[in-house]
Amino acid sequence: MKKLDFKNKFFTALAMTSFLSLGFIACSSDSEEDSEMADIIDGTDDGDNNGSSGELHAAFAEFNEGNTDIYLDGSNVVIETNGLPNHTTVYWGIGEDLYIDEPDVDLTPSIIPNYNGEATLRVPQSPELASTSTSTNMGAIGIAISGAAIFNDQEGNGALNEAAASLDYTGGHIGPAEYHYHLEPTAWSEDDENLIGILADGFFIYGRKCNSTGTYPTDLDASGGHISTTQHTTEAEYHYHIENELYLNQYYIIFPGDYQGTPNAIN
């Protein structure tokens, strides 16, 4: 009888131990899952999320899907473009669907189908203002929503006025390698608040007007930037505008200033 009692107690204890062990494993698993979910929500997950919030800025929805591919890579945004504009211009060349005749344009030697404008820009998902500004370089300083490149106010080794005759109706031309804009791109933005594109420091650039006021901003810094809401945000953030100052009495240059963030290579 005592042996039977001992066996019953032994198996009862064993069952209780197994039950508690299973409960501990289940609770640990639930706790770990809750912790991982919290990490994903607050953007600190070390796994596939790579510290990203998982959402692209709303402004990226305006970039042409046929010419650009935009995605998150950890805490960075990658913008890949084929470098082609999605609008008409004489630089498409006769026979192309988007070609238009612009007899007043002093054409550069190349046309769009003859070059490879593919480029990639990698910027922080949440860019920050730098302690000091940085001068823009020759070549691409940003990517427009059309897919084509944005250049500064210089052409070659001289001022833009030397090449102004070669600019098409929307402030773009080819020289030396890819189609790009120097001036307000009137193909989709003219004296308005429309998104122009993104610069190499990760900050967006908009038209001459600001969505927060509906008119020309008066608080721009030396680079044409300020902090306010835009049509893509409910919270104020730093961004640039095309400055509302005429160049050669007829043009508005997209970006004649310095980067206020840390620039990244476009290659």
| 155 and 63 co-located in one domain | yes
| 181 and 72 co-located in one domain | yes
103-149: per-residue pLDDT in tens?
999 999 999 999 999 999 999 999 999 999 999 999 999 999 999 99
The answer to the question of residue 127 being in a domain is: yes
| 9 and 88 co-located in one domain | no
199-229: per-residue pLDDT in tens?
999 999 999 999 999 999 999 999 999 999 9
Give the pLDDT of residue 175.
85
| 27 and 64 co-located in one domain | no
| 123 and 179 co-located in one domain | yes
Give the pLDDT of residue 37.
37
| 64 and 28 co-located in one domain | no
And the tokens for 119? 């480029």
And the tokens for 201? 């420091």
The answer to the question of residue 52 being in a domain is: no
| 117 and 87 co-located in one domain | yes
| 156 and 228 co-located in one domain | yes
DSSP states along the chain: -HHHHHHHHHHHHHHHHHHHHHHHHHHHHHHHHHHHHHHHHHT--SSTTTT--S---GGGGGS-TTTEEEEEETTEEEEEE----SS-BGGG-TTSTTB---TTS---S--GGGS---EEEEEESS--EEEEEEPPPSS--EEETTSSEE--SEETTEEGGGGGGG--TTSEEE-SSSEEESB--TTT-SSS--EEEEETTS-EEE-SS-TTTSS--S---TTSEEEE--TT-SS-EEEEE--S--BTTTB-BS--S-EEE----B-
Q: Note the pTM of the prediction, 2 decimals.
A: 0.81
The answer to the question of residue 250 being in a domain is: yes
Give the pLDDT of residue 110.
92
Please name the residues in contact with 40: beta carbons below 8 A apart, sequence gap of 6 or more: 49, 54
| 101 and 146 co-located in one domain | yes
CA–CA gap between residue 206 and residue 153 (Å, rounded): 17
Mark the ranges of the chain whose per-residue pLDDT is less than 50.
1-51
| 70 and 25 co-located in one domain | no
User: Could you list the residue range(s) of the whole structural domain that residue 116 is in?
Assistant: 58-261
The answer to the question of residue 50 being in a domain is: no
The answer to the question of residue 67 being in a domain is: yes
| 8 and 90 co-located in one domain | no
The answer to the question of residue 209 being in a domain is: yes
* Cα dihedral sign, 42-46-51-53: negative
The answer to the question of residue 17 being in a domain is: yes
The answer to the question of residue 89 being in a domain is: yes
Looking at the structure of the chain, the number of domains it has is: 2
| 108 and 223 co-located in one domain | yes
Give the pLDDT of residue 199.
98
CA–CA gap between residue 218 and residue 227 (Å, rounded): 12
